């Protein structure tokens, strides 16, 4: 019985978190699960796009702006970040601006993603490198 109540409360909290992020302008699918203590770029929330069935672990940072070298223009440039469907972003990962992370991707905990990531891979490290290609969720994940 306690487990059922806990699961119901978890779903309610996830829904509220989703609504808050959507209200702030982030483009996040309702099926995305986000843990607490995320740092999502507040300068341009419309620059973060997250696909379906993606899990983002706590303490993850997603940036979507970078400083401009041209001091005559505004001091930063918005550079959208796209995270695909069915992804798992590990705890404490950092995703830099202007990147696309494909579908069915696992980003290992503590990774710093500095380049685009193709579909169906596992990446880890600083900077994040592909450690497994042609990844399938049926194999299981131990990152």
Give the catalytic positions in this structure: 65
Q: In what order do the strands lie in the sheet with 122-124?
A: 33-34, 55-56, 88-89, 106-107, 122-124, 129-132
CA distance 143 to 124: 8
Counting DSSP H helices and E strands in the chain, the numbers are: 1, 16
């Amino acid at each position: 019985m306690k487990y059922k109540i806990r699961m119901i409360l978890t779903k309610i909290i996830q829904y509220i978190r989703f609504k808050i992020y959507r209200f702030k302008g982030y483009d996040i699918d309702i099926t995305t699960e986000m843990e607490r203590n995320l740092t999502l770029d507040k300068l341009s929330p419309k620059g973060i796009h997250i696909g379906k069935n993606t899990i983002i672990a706590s303490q993850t940072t997603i940036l979507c702006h970078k400083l401009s070298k041209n001091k005559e223009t505004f001091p930063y440039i918005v550079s959208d970040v796209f995270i695909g469907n069915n992804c798992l972003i590990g705890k404490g990962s950092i995703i830099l601006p202007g990147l696309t992370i494909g579908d069915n991707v696992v980003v290992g905990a503590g990774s710093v993603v500095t380049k685009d990531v193709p579909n169906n891979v596992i990446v880890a490290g600083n900077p994040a490198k592909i450690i497994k290609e042609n990844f399938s969720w049926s194999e299981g994940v131990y990152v």
